Amino acid sequence: MTIPQTLFDLSGVSARIHHLPGRPPFILDADMATIYGSSTKAINQAVKRNPDRFPKDFCFSLTEGEISDLRSQNVTTNMSRALASGFTHAGSIALSGVLKTEVAARMSVIIHRAFAAMEAKALSDTRFMVQKLRSETLVKKPIYGRIMEGARNGWTFEQVWRSTSYTKYQLETAVREMVAMGMLSAPLAGMQTDLFAHA
């Protein structure tokens, strides 16, 4: 089988990583066959012969509804089959080890890089959104900003309280909220530990 040249580069593989609600990112078995220079039948037979290497978080069968969703997304892979399988990042790499061909060995590196780049971007986007939400929260709740300033300066709870017009209860509540949201890694020094016993 001749492999299209586009599948030898990162963008070609990345375009074949799909996303569905409740599923990890995956590549369809038909696309795996094309990328690895094999056939869909051979790919699925390899999985059946090696069930221990392909747990459900490595390879899974798509439902009719999921296949319909992919069709609605104009997925170009042949979706005429009633059943299809998806290979996650780990499953894609495991498959290359089972096939043991030169093409599979070479393409597994590109597949890994495609998944890794996608995961890195998702992590970066998440961090950006969290930082944005935290910044917006600090602006909307001045008490958070005051506590954050005190935490940066190494102040105790008592020192922060004396530097503001807030009551101790207001500060305690705000610190509890900030710890719960991950804005603070720990309560301020000098706080009663039982305040966080059931947080």
pLDDT, tens digit, 9 for 90 and up, residues 79-137:
555 578 999 999 999 998 888 788 888 888 899 998 988 888 888 877 777 777 767 77
SS3 (DSSP) at 169: helix
Q: Where does the pLDDT of residue 5 fall: very low under 50, low under 70, confident under 90, or very high at 90 and above?
A: very low
What CA–CA distance (Å, rounded) separates 86 from 28?
5
Task: Answer with the residue of higher pLDDT: 143 or 77.
Answer: 143
The rounded mean pLDDT for the chain is 83
Kindly state the DSSP code that residue 183 receives in the 8-state scheme. Answer: S
Q: In what order do the strands lie in the sheet with 59-61?
A: 27-28, 85-87, 59-61
SS3 (DSSP) at 38: coil
pLDDT, tens digit, 9 for 90 and up, residues 13-24:
888 899 998 999
The model scores a pTM over 0.85: no
What CA–CA distance (Å, rounded) separates 29 from 37?
12
Copy the structure tokens of residue 53.
Answer: 């290497």
Contact 100, 88 (CB under 8 A): no
What CA–CA distance (Å, rounded) separates 23 from 145?
38
pLDDT, tens digit, 9 for 90 and up, residues 141-163:
888 888 988 898 999 999 999 99
Copy the structure tokens of residue 16.
Answer: 């074949």
Copy the structure tokens of residue 97.
Answer: 């080890």
